[in-house]
Structure 1
């Protein structure tokens, strides 16, 4: 096992000491970060969404900032603003919260649509434009956003354009019985996120991302990913399907998944595994699906079952 992959797996192990019993979830979030994507964590309050984000920020050694999204948060709080300095006799730009490696957008759906839209350019272009001047953000840059389920008191729905900019949407869920018992006992295996120390830094993470990008994707596997996304556009149970950005996100997530397993190329199973988290926030149920009580997960699961997988030889170690 090479040094970088070992460091990444050590990060995962430490996160799992903080978030108990959620190994699959933490692996998904880590894969999204390695793929250069943004993550949306949607769940009830108190299940560890913020703790998970803080744990990754600290262990990856990233410069991070947290914004608690409330109705009074302004777009300029995120993107920055210019103030007049009398001593300099000129306007001086004051950077906003987005100038960091990892932005924790806590309860993003509790702020105004105007403030939410301020993140559109930030998330896609990794830059901000204030008063006609464009400024690049640090590299790497990620957003880990948390939100309460739609319909909760005081929430605003994120627009489709912003939802589409998240690589994955996932939920933490309640812990299993034994994990919650360990939390209640204050077991030695649990650690506080604020006590974690960095195992990597931004430079090491950039190097890992270059390795992830170099993972090979066979033409048949790429076509399989496109067929899955295209099927969401043709399903009578979906009002609209995933965008081409969804296709790119699916392939990038599959590359990260393959790299984490020590493989040098993407297998159809990697695409299939990442299909749901990459598409569940990019599509919407149709009226027919609602009338027939078809849940979104079941619709996407059916698409996955009905789309034939290409037959390729088994993965080999890279």
Structure 2
């Protein structure tokens, strides 16, 4: 059982354990809730591993678009694995406690892989812009070496962006509250529990949030330019073909950013929204994108779909 909030609010002893939450009011049914959650994690891990396997083993998929897709799959895989331990502990064993150091480490990996996914989505939008704007020079502009360099640069930037989070949380004192709002640790959630000045955390958290917003703005600008180019194509068939190459990426952007925007709006403006809604939205944020991205790309990308189906048929024979 989780102690009541009143205990956390009145205790002046420095805390040594944070407490995560499952689904408020449904603690008795956590074991049943764990079944769909385990299924989602299984789909996410298998789906992203499948994409990584086919891109690595099929030489025909050794192209810039698929390299970027493998980066997206790696980010999704990291995001799933980062949240997996606490989610399963809560829903399978009703174990809600987590040490501060473990919590800080988890929020570093969750924010790191989230930033990496946002970066990859931005790179993929630029990739689609180059492919539509200059299809004949596409492979000469995005060589394998250049793609690897871009990926490494953005990965390094993501690490540097979120690296301060554990350290600026470590300097805070936690002495009155220890009950978090989600099933995993997030920087903005943990810093609210501090009984010391958290102004640095607020400012840096806002900076990271604005960086993510900037990525979304850049993606939107890329698609405005893509739409302008596509509308300039003479044939209707040509316009549809060009837009069709962007559908999977547009779906990935919507799947990733929509829960983030909804959760941010709820946290900022809807103060009296049910805690149940907050928890469900937060779980959707980490569970749905890693599961849906492989499905979207397998369905919409013919080259991957054909190879997956061929492998499945081969096993049946």
TM-score, structure 2 length as denominator? 0.23
TM-score, structure 1 length as denominator? 0.23
Choose between structure 1 and 2: higher strand proportion. 1
Per chain length, whose mean CA-contact separation is higher, i.e. which structure has more relative contact order (CA < 8 Å, sep 6+)? 2
Choose between structure 1 and 2: higher helix proportion. 2
Give the number of the structure whose alpha-carbon radius of gyration is greater: 2
